Structure 1
């Protein structure tokens, strides 16, 4: 096991408000984060990213020369920077405005204003993502566990895969949606399916229903990772046969606990 601490983190903070920058920097320093590059604009952020590789980017939603979703899209498309953890701080509450971030594998979305608990949990999620903390299972050798990850968002899949790899899982199968997962399950034997809910053709609930009604696959545990907040949708998800649900964005420690629970009960 290897784990860094908050005082090892190098953070790039993008916040156009001078007052908000000072407040956030003070809160980070209270969490023992001392290496902070603070900028106001997208251009300044890109200039720093040309020179350094921060451990975490913390960003406001809007800048005078762009927005966080534009910056995140650029980062995720750059092979050298694609895996940098990204944390959004915003007063935005509209689901459609935040969905792009949830589907891009952000480590956290913090409200404005946020409290110390919010920040502490987000920093811990970052540390979990950057470190390695292999799962200790009673029923399985973690090196032998096979997991299928199903999500139509490449960036979300990449984030989930990284979390699972940090937990010691090496045998990973990717599916781009529910129909692709069903095809691959005809030839791939897996111990766990981790799936998104919203997908074209065959969604997560329909995939779960297929697995539960299949003689060959009905025993496979299913973890649903979803940004759905609508109670009717959540009820449908629960009734489709999933064994565990995690919100997007999720904390890696939550996935670890679910993984242990799902695999060691078989």
Structure 2
């Protein structure tokens, strides 16, 4: 299994001062394999020459934003699953949510603590090592899961995590209405859904499953960037089994799924 000191980190940071702060934090964690890049283009060129285990990037780069960069990574087969950590003082949801949707291990503030960096990198390790850390008493490959999210990049990231955990029978739906069509034709062992979706959101889908579906007892995991506590409380009242924030931790999802399957 890959361990923390063995990680190869690609650091994308145009500020020399901030780059040194991040490098110092990584050094405190025993990480010294750092590929320094000053722009998004530099990173893409560097990855074409050799691999990295994780990208740590600022949001504002000289040639693109962190959102642009992570979407470029997700669009390439070679880097689609490359873990991405954002370090930024930006808090505007319009800028940050696309990064969440694209699949990131963590979004760290400026300034951040070494403890926060370690947690983000531990989540990265859980993701990278997931295929070597599968349960022996649950055969995830035999279980059917439905992913519901209007973001293609979000669906791909969730699918990647589930595949690393061991799932093989995965169906995707782009909103609640599309999910209902699948639910009427296929039996599922788990539904993983977003909250904010057009036509039918996660709350409405949960209510439909619990009150009108033939699969009313199927576990429902909501993975969402929704921050409104009233909306999330309403979803819980509707019958969702658990809620995970985006970005989510691989180990948390794994443990929740194991809990769902064993109790169900």
Bucket of the pairwise TM-score, normalised by the shorter protein: over 0.9
3-state DSSP of counterpart to 1:36: strand
Distance (Å, rounded) in 2 between the aligned partners of 1:172 and 1:142: 11
Alignment partner of 2:60 out of 59, 62, 73: 62
The answer as to 2:70 corresponding to 1:90 is no
Distance in 2 (CA, whole Å) between partners of 1:120 and 1:79 is 28
SS of equivalent residue, structure 1 residue 66: coil
1:32 aligns with 2:63: no
Displacement after TM superposition at 1:94 (Å): 2.0
The structure-2 alpha-carbon separation of the partners of 1:136 and 1:209, relative to structure 1 and needing over 3 Å to count, comes to farther
Q: Does 1:71 align with 2:60?
A: no
Please state whether the residue corresponding to 2:102 is helix, strand or coil: coil
Which segments of 5 or more consecutive residues in structure 1 lack a partner in the other structure?
Answer: none
Which residue number corresponds to residue 146 of structure 1? 144
User: What is the aligned-residue RMSD (CA, Å)?
Assistant: 1.4
Residues 156-215 of structure 1: CA deviation (Å, up to 9, x unaligned): 111111111121222211112111110011111111101011111111111111100135
- TM superposition score normalised by structure 1: 0.94
Q: Is the 8 A contact 2:143 2:167 kept in 1?
A: yes
After TM superposition, give the deviation of residue 27 of structure 1 in Å: 0.8
Shift of 1:144: 1.6
Q: 2:194 and 2:216 mapped to 1: Cα distance?
A: 18
Higher percent of residues as helix = 2
Structure 1 residue runs of 4 or more that deviate by more than 4 Å after TM superposition: none
Q: TM-score, normalising length from structure 2?
A: 0.95
Q: Deviations over 1:13-57 (max 9, x none)?
A: 011111111110111122122211112122322221221221111
Per-residue deviation, 1:12: 0.7
- Distance in 1, Cα, partners of 2:149 & 2:135: 23
**How many equivalent residue pairs?**
262
Q: Which runs of 5+ in 2 are unaligned?
A: none
Write the distance in 1 (CA, Å) between the matches of 2:240 and 2:136: 23
2:114 to 104, 113, 116: 116
**Larger mean Cα displacement after TM superposition, 34-43 or 107-116:** 34-43
- Aligned to 1:165, what secondary structure does the other structure show? helix
Q: Does 1:13 align with 2:29?
A: no
SS at match of 2:185: coil
Asked if 1 retains the 8 angstrom alpha-carbon contact of 2:87 and 2:108, the reply is yes
CA distance in 2, matches of 1:188, 1:230: 32
CA distance in 2, matches of 1:136, 1:191: 18
